[in-house]
Chain A
Amino acid sequence: MVLRHIPIREGILGAAILVLLGLVSIRYSGFIAPANLANVFNDTAPLIILALGQMVVILTRCIDLSVAANLALTGMVVAMLNVAMPGLPIPVILAIAILLGAMMGAINGLLVWKLAIPPIVVTLGTMTVFRGIIFLISEGKWINAHEMSTAFTGFSRTAFLGLPVLSWIAIATVIVFGVMMSRTALGRSVFAVGGNPHAAVYTGIDVGKTQFLAFVLSGALAGLTGYLWVARYAVAYVDIARGFELEVVAACVIGGISIAGGIGSVGGAVLGALFLGVVKNALPVVNISPFWQLAISGSAILIAVAFNARAGRSKGRIILKSAEGSV
């Protein structure tokens, strides 16, 4: 009964993660201990949060390459705020991080919406601009552990019901996005815009505005993750999360979110992120050469994409064939 409600793609990805866990536990049995799995989940939490934002953007036929730079800039700004005003309460810092991230997302969104510049170009540009701004405001200096307040770095690791707050924030984001994508007008219009933008226009959906909102969401989540990231690693500098945007996109692609837009699910994005998270956490303990590690991570992505491409193709063909047959 329950199995019927789990889509095939997510089911296969979930099974792949379980097989992976099984394989790793042969080499290192401690990996599947509950405490270690909780660690892996906590380590993957930033990726899950960012993948959800990226998912919405990709669903609308766009891409956001500026998420890691947005994360780094927000992280630096809140870290500098913390140094300047150590007494600033954490909820205020969270609000600032989310707002700042959303503003940067809005810049991407406006450029895509109002100037109709291709999203990959816009976000490549803003990615570099954001990194440049970090350098300007920090003058290339690091914000270090001893300069941050204990509340600032402690928030994300406070344990609550056995899991750190960082993990709970990821879980809350997953729930919010699950409801938003399936139960709200925004969620449905995101799918409509990506699936068939022309049809979406005829149903009264503003394609540009929906894409704008997708970028704002992605930016807000990047901002939120920016604070969590800096707090987790207790250091902020220009280069934090360098190249992380590609991992985020990879998580979405592995999770079966079509890069052409319109196809994908919250469950897929989460599983895609978890898959990458398990791979990243497993490689250090199974003792594989760093050169092989890169090859293995890359192969996992290619296999997932190839699989998704095959799975996605058959659906469209059937309709055409039956249409041809009837003529």
Chain B
Amino acid sequence: MSVFKKAMASAAIAATMFAAPAMAEDNMRIALVVKALGIGFFEAAAKGAEEAATELGGVEIIYTGPTDTTAEGQIEVINALIAQNVDAIAISANDTDALVPALKKAMSRGITVISWDSGVAAEGRQMHLNPSSNPLIGNMIIKLAADHLPDGGEVAVLSATATATNQNIWIDEMNKVTGEYSGINVVATVYGDDLADKSYREAQGLMASYPDLKAIIAPTTVGIVAAAQAVTDAGKIGEINVTGLALPSEMAGHIDSGASKSFAIWNPIDLGYAATMIAYNLAKGTATAEAGKSIPMGRMGEVALDGNSEGAMADPFIYDASNIDAFKSIF
């Protein structure tokens, strides 16, 4: 049996050795490595990568990843990709540091390595693509409320805990740009602690304290769902719009009911598309991943790299009644 296995393994290795150079001649092969296979978010990213491949032409996407979200699994996958001599690896990492040695090995073999979504430490990749940036998110959450308030009005923020770093940064960024939306007045910031019952109660408190409230902005998934339910139970659908950051699967019911007109989060399809475009341009040599440089991303524009070779893709993507059904089964 073991002889048979060895023979099979040798045959497989031989096959890849012969196959790899033959393939490399005509197609550029970009590996999209995800945290684990079978996750809706990443399946959608793969769809975006395929879209980019079709647009570019002559690009083959290898969508791969471990079966569970472990760094060990991803290291095996990376080693297999090095053996196949792919042209580029775009990875959403399960661990910031553990993948660095394997990815360094890949880069030393001339493979382009970038990380997207979930980053790798700077020495393990050429650049990292963030789905968005704090200023873009801060601007988006107030824009979501303002879009449905042409005459302005009172809005309030329902956050997670008072000490949640990311929430506070987004709210700070939001406050910086609130002046640009005329008539929009942020009257309060309350904290639901990411508990459904407390968030629900805080939303009720907002409605009681501010009878003219027009929108509740919740940049947290627990908060936005609880606030939407509180608005529904208070019979204020249409009067108060609940918006913020959330996943389509969690908000589908509240978009249907009208409690939320729109909300935002990154679009995984765009993310997969942009990561593929960047990997292509870097592997082709039409762009370089250096601090301060920009890399083209096709229809997503350009990504500007900061001192840490990180860049933000775009504004968070807006989900509303027109596209929620397509996305609610994805993530």
Instruction: List chain A positions with a Cβ less than 8 A from chain B.
Output: 28, 30-31, 36, 39, 43, 46, 142, 144-148, 157, 229, 232-235, 239-244, 280-281, 283-285, 287, 289-291
Known A28-B208, A145-B225, A287-B209; judge A233-B250 contact (CB<8 A).
no
B256→A146 contact, CB < 8 A: yes
Complex partner residue of B197 from A30, A146, A241, CB under 8 angstroms: A241
B249 touches A144 (CB 8 A): yes
Which 6 A-B residue pairings sit nearest by Cβ, starting from the closest?
Answer: A284-B205, A146-B253, A145-B253, A233-B196, A290-B162, A146-B252
**In the complex, chain A residues whose CB is within 8 Å of the CB of B214:** none
Interface residues of B (CB under 8 A from A): 161-162, 188, 190-191, 194-198, 200-202, 204-206, 208-209, 225-226, 228-229, 233, 249-254, 256, 328
Seed contacts A36-B208, A244-B197, A287-B188; 11 additional CB < 8 Å A-B pairs: A28-B209, A142-B249, A144-B249, A144-B252, A146-B253, A146-B256, A233-B226, A281-B201, A285-B208, A290-B161, A291-B162
CA distance A232 to B225 in the complex (A): 12
- B202 near A233 with CB under 8 A, answer no
Check A235 against B196 for contact (C-beta < 8 Å): yes
Specify which of B197, B201, B251, B253 lies most central, judged by the most chain A CB atoms within 10 Å of its CB.
B197
Across the interface, name the chain B residue whose C-beta is closest to A243.
Answer: B195
Q: How far is the CA of A241 from the CA of B222 in the complex (A)?
A: 12
- Complexed CA–CA distance, A147 and B201 (Å): 23
Assembly CA distance A233 to B250 (angstroms): 12
Assembled-state Cα–Cα distance A30/B204 (Å): 13
Q: What are 5 A-B contacts defined by CB distance under 8 Å?
A: A144-B225, A145-B225, A233-B196, A234-B253, A287-B209
Provide the bound-state CA to CA distance between A31 and B162, in Å: 25
Complex formed: what's the CA distance from A144 to B254 in Å? Answer: 10
**For B200, B205, B228, which residue has the most chain A Cβ atoms within 10 angstroms?**
B205
**Residues of chain B within 8 A of A145, CB atoms compared:** 225, 228-229, 252-254
A281 to B200, CA, bound (A): 10
Closest Cβ–Cβ distance, residue B168 to chain A (whole Å): 12
How many angstroms from the CA of A43 to the CA of B191 in the assembled complex? 18
Question: Does B196 lie within 8 Å of A144, measured CB to CB?
Answer: no
A287 and B161 alpha carbons, distance in the complex (Å): 16
Assess the B252–A233 pair: CB atoms within 8 A. no
- Give the distance to chain A from B41, nearest Cβ to Cβ, in Å: 12
Contact present for B162 and A235 (CB under 8 Å): no
Q: In the complex, which residues of chain A have a beta carbon less than 8 angstroms from the beta carbon of B251?
A: 144
CB-defined contacts of A243 to chain B, threshold 8 Å: 195
Determine the distance from Cα of A142 to Cα of B194 in the docked complex, in whole angstroms: 14
* CB-CB under 8 A for A39 and B204, given A242-B195, A287-B209, A290-B191: yes
Nearest Cβ on chain B to A263's Cβ, whole angstroms: 29
Among A39, A142, A287, A289, which residue has its beta carbon within 8 angstroms of that of B250? A142
Contact of B205 with A285 in the complex, beta carbons under 8 Å: yes
B191, B196, B225, B233, most chain A CB atoms within 10 A: B196
